[in-house]
Amino acid sequence: MGQPLAHAGAGELAISTAKLGVARLLAIVMMMLACPRAMAGECADPPAEYVAALEAGPSAEYFEYAVSCLGMSPVIGGRLWAGPSAASRFAELRADTLRPRIARAVSRMLATSWADGQYRRTSLYMVAASRGIGTLDTVDVFTGLVAQGVPFEFGTYESMAVLADCRAVAVLTARYRALRGGAPVGYPDENFDVLNSLYHIPCKEAVAAARSLLSGEHDPVMRDRLRKVVERP
């Protein structure tokens, strides 16, 4: 899948977002509008139904909608999800009894032609990451999730938070610096989600990175969010 985005320069990050972000967003919107089970975008059906559709594969009527709901639909509302409530919810997802079924279904789909394109493969990685599944057979989920050319978008940072991989610290730090340096955002308030995700990475490097970012941040709102990471329990 290429080198992680942490190794890419700010210019490369901006180009990736600009080229791929809009196209992928449009694809998600069309997917939602085509699925009448719940109101488009709500993902209000029981997770087990989405898992069943995932297991059934592309021939299932709601397969792509299920992929979207399992991997891209945020489970925490709002832009401020750095705190114990979200942490508790993410812990529940990592302990979800559906995880074995999800892992088997995603592994099977990754080996099919359906997943040949980057967008679809990344969607499957997000499904796995959203339940804290770090490895699929020999596939490293984190590497696939942040591979070179994969855009940062709505749902990515939550998936990274649930996955809780320490390698995310470098990726999140690089992305925050790029955004504060003027790189185009993938969606509104992306900078908040970067720090929200950093809060949930359970490594001392996350706190050290937040301190480093805080030293160069002058915006009072963003300084407050960075202090949230530095002072986390």
CB of 102 closer than 8 Å to CB of 54 = yes
Note the pLDDT of residue 41: 52
Residue type present at position 105: A
- Which residue in this structure is represented by tokens 């079924």? 101
Q: Is the pLDDT of residue 2 over 90?
A: no
Burial class of residue 131 in the structure, from the number of CB atoms within 10 Å of its CB (0-12 exposed, 13-18 middle, 19+ buried): buried
CB of 43 closer than 8 Å to CB of 69 = yes
CB of 122 closer than 8 Å to CB of 142 = no
List CB contacts of 31: < 8 A, sequence separation 6 or more. 64, 65, 68
Note the pLDDT of residue 154: 83
Phi, psi of 160 (to 5 degrees): -65, -35
DSSP state of 147: B
Instruction: Please state the domain extents for the chain.
Output: 5-230
Dump pLDDT digits (tens) for 138-155: 999 999 999 988 888 888
Note the pLDDT of residue 42: 77
Q: Is the pLDDT of residue 166 over 60?
A: yes
48-74 burial, b at 16+ Cβ within 10 Å, e below that, comes to eebbbbbbeeeeeebbbbbbbbbbbbe
pTM, full prediction: 0.81
Q: What is the mean pLDDT of residues 63-79?
A: 86
Q: What is the mean pLDDT of residues 159-166?
A: 96
Least Cα distance to 33 among 24, 21, 41, 22 occurs for 41
**Coil, helix or strand at residue 39:** coil
